[in-house]
Structure 1
Amino acid sequence: MTVQDIAGWDADLQALTEGLGWMFNRPEPKVTFGLMVRALLADVPKKNSWGLAEHAGLATPRPFEHLLDGAVWDADTLRDQVRDYVVAGLGSADAAVIADDTQAIKKGDKSVGVAPQHCGLTGQTENCQVMPMLTYATEAGHAFIDRELYLPASWTSDPDRCRTAGVPADREFATKPQLVQQMLARVLAANVVFGWFAADAGYGRDPGLRAFCHDRAVTYVMAVPVDLPLVDARGQALCCKDILRDHVHRWERRSAGAGSKGHRLYDWAMHAVTVKEQPPAAGYGHTLLIRRSKDMRKHKGRPASYDIEYFLVHAPVATTLAAMVRAAGLRWKIEEDNKTGKDQLGMDAYQVRKWVSWHRHVTMCMLAQAFLAVTRAGRGKEAACRESEAAC
């Protein structure tokens, strides 16, 4: 890394934020927007409005608070710009669009969408907001491209509470898988290039999301529960455990991608299956992908056994095991994005309570993360070019 590299990235960031200045009808929020994105990327201990303002050299956080709450601009327009920027910088026909949700633990009951609900951060019920997200992942890098805020029924059934928090009047209750459908529909409408959609069992268990993908011939790999409703050749009911127990498996040891300790190696097997009352798209088939740990694990109070996870794959009939495993491995990229978004960019450090402010803050964090991902990908390309030139 050289001084010239740093100066170049600084110029790239300025060009990016200034290039989005058309979203604002006044010069003040345009300038504040650039300052805030730069502060989100900086090493600021607390990325609330006060911490960001102090880093930016502002006397008070009021300019940032006005940008998030009072200025005239559209966070959904920025969302679409972030998506297009990520795809332009990382785009690949083999890309995976990945869905998962993350949480922000909050106090009180005024923050939009907050309620006692399951929190993946702690594995228990917490007073939190739940944010379904989409990541775009390729070998070059990965970053968020869309977001939604889940509103529990305790919110959507209380019009006064929603009105106070600025929730649009036409916003109705939607499950987390339904919110992912909405985000995936936007990806398809924008003609984003990608090869796979991936999600964990919280989404793979949802028949509505699966049907959405079947109707649009979306290739997917989603983790599924053991009781996924399947049928055999005679139309009799069976489940994933039946296939694991009753079939002969050809296990292949393959990497699900590199982790912090090297390649994540598992044994994999695949079996063609029929999902009850859910036919695949024309030219597609359903495959149950079984992942088994390399070694037996000891479990308290039980004999040692393999750790097993099941994935349902909806893909063109000729799709190989290697392609399925690669796509299943990319699913972990969204967890890295969740961690980066919170630990480095303050995605959950906001002090806002209303609908518009929440969407603006989270979408600006997405832009900051997108800049990091695209910049890293550019560094990789530049290094490859330098190595190629040296070899010549």
Structure 2
Amino acid sequence: MRGMMTAGHVTRIRQQLQGFVEEFAEDLGRSERRHWCGKYLEGLLREGEHKSIEPLAARVGCDDQALQQFVNQSPWDHRAVLHRLRQQMRTSASAGGVLVLDDTSLPKQGRHSVGVARQYCGALGKIANCQSIVTWHWLGATGLHWPLAAQLYLPAEWTADEPRMSRAGVPPAEQRFREKWRLALDLLDEMKPQLPAYQAIVFDAGYGVVQSLLAELEKQAEPYVAQVPGNIAAWPAAAVATLKPARRGRPRQHAIVQDPAMHPLSMVGWRDKLLQEPGRWVQVQLPRADGASVQAVAVRVQASRRGSRWRQPGAARWLLIEQLGEETFKYYLSNLPAGTPLAELVRLAHQRWAIEQGYQQLKEELGLDHFEGRSWRGLHHHVTLCFLAFCFLTRLRSSKKTPLAA
């Protein structure tokens, strides 16, 4: 595989790897922690299908108990390490990238691993026993992919069980329920001061369905391109709500759209409407090496609060629709400026797919989903170390002399 190294590769880069580890000396602390960090990263990078502690330790020829202690009990702060990793990203990144919000699922057999519950598991494409980790990534204009932050999502069944959380070592400050989107915004607040200027935040329909998230991003003036499901609604851009005086009784408190011809349409409804205007659809090339393209159309709309009694129009947005096949469509909403070209909306909407490829490498090559421990600390340590291994490989590939090419 492209990211995995033979023993010969590791011998040639061992000094570089230890130098990379020393950049985190202040965060890792004592020299033996830095030593075991180097060993763990070497084990993640080495060829081999199983990246859990015992086979990893055997592969690099070290004591598995010491490695176990480094990952599961050692008190180094994974947040501090990720903070420094973001600082390193600033030396490689330039303004003009995108932030990608995503989550990744780690299937589990038992029920004792921290945060494990029956929930949607993207890795399996169904409801299953798994952990779910909320993540942020940077994707640069030149293709730089850099993981930025990660935190385990705790389902309500966990936050309602304090003894269970305590046994798993969940810190007191984290022993409260937060929806994934709120957890994501907390992480964004934490890391934003370190980030270069970005064009947009992009995310899939799992987050796009959360209208509260879109509204909060608009409130914070954060640009976004969100994939959304077909049942989300939007008003026409021309819809205007007015406060019509009541003929009797108490004064009206909510404006309503008086024009009976104006009403919100679901994304599917907009699709059917726009398919009646084939001249508005344009063939747009996708940001892919194979030169693939897609039929797309974009129109200005307004947010629809379908749950509201009055359903007034809300914030102005772009609605982007892509036709991928005769019966296959994808829908996106965006708060980018009204003058944004269609091709730019399509380009940004597709930036997220590079992160899917990155997750494939993190799992298949670097063992992100191989961790067998049960604790909060151990899981976050392992995820952080996988991010370090990924970013070390990124740095190697960007250098003029990379042993991976040998």
Q: Fold match, TM over 0.5?
A: yes
RMSD of aligned residue pairs (Cα, Å): 2.2
Specify the code of the residue in structure 1 equivalent to 2:286.
Answer: A
1:254 matched to 2:281? The reply is no
Which residue pairs with 2:105 in the alignment? 103
Select 1:115's aligned residue among 110, 117, 125.
117
1:335 matched to 2:352? The reply is no
Q: Which runs of 5+ in 2 are unaligned?
A: 1-8, 240-256, 258-262, 306-312
Specify the code of the residue in structure 2 equivalent to 1:376.
Answer: R
Which residue pairs with 2:5 in the alignment? none
Select 1:263's aligned residue among 291, 314, 332.
291
Range moving further from structure 2, 341-350 or 174-183? 174-183
Specify the code of the residue in structure 1 equivalent to 2:37.
Answer: F
Which residue pairs with 1:389 in the alignment? none
Q: Percent identity?
A: 28
State the shift of 1:190 in Å: 2.5
Specify the code of the residue in structure 2 equivalent to 1:168.
Answer: P
Q: Does the aligned pair in 1 maintain the 2:57–2:67 contact within 8 Å?
A: yes
Of structures 1 and 2, the larger Rg is shown by 2
Select 1:189's aligned residue among 171, 193, 198.
193
SS at match of 1:192: coil
Select 2:340's aligned residue among 319, 341, 351.
319
SS at match of 1:214: helix
Q: Deviations over 1:3-45 (max 9, x none)?
A: xx98885543222111211223322112111111122111133
Q: Does the aligned pair in 1 maintain the 2:50–2:56 contact within 8 Å?
A: yes
1: CA distance, partners of 2:401 / 2:30:
37
Specify the code of the residue in structure 2 equivalent to 1:332.
Answer: W
Which residue pairs with 1:362 in the alignment? 383
SS at match of 1:292: strand
Q: Give runs of aligned pairs for residues 1-392 of structure 1, distance below 5 A.
A: 10-58=14-62, 60-89=63-92, 91-138=93-140, 139-171=142-174, 172-232=176-236, 233-234=238-239, 235=257, 236-247=263-274, 248=277, 250-258=280-288, 262-276=290-304, 279-280=314-315, 285-293=316-324, 295-296=325-326, 306-379=327-400
Specify the code of the residue in structure 1 equivalent to 2:217.
Answer: C
Q: Does the aligned pair in 2 maintain the 1:45–1:51 contact within 8 Å?
A: no
Range moving further from structure 2, 176-185 or 29-38? 176-185
State the shift of 1:373 in Å: 2.0
State the shift of 1:292 in Å: 0.5
Q: Deviations over 1:198-232 (max 9, x none)?
A: 00011011122212211222111110112223223
Q: Does the aligned pair in 2 maintain the 1:141–1:374 contact within 8 Å?
A: no
1: CA distance, partners of 2:343 / 2:359:
27
State the shift of 1:258 in Å: 1.9
2: CA distance, partners of 1:36 / 1:331:
29
- TM-score w.r.t. the length of structure 2 is 0.83
2: CA distance, partners of 1:266 / 1:192:
30
Pair 1:63–1:160, CA change in 2 (3 A): same
Range moving further from structure 2, 334-343 or 370-379? 370-379
Specify the code of the residue in structure 2 equivalent to 1:265.
Answer: S
- TM-score w.r.t. the length of structure 1 is 0.86
Range moving further from structure 2, 40-49 or 196-205? 40-49
1: CA distance, partners of 2:16 / 2:282:
45
2: CA distance, partners of 1:86 / 1:349:
26
Q: Does the aligned pair in 1 maintain the 2:95–2:196 contact within 8 Å?
A: no
State the shift of 1:255 in Å: 2.6
SS at match of 1:369: helix
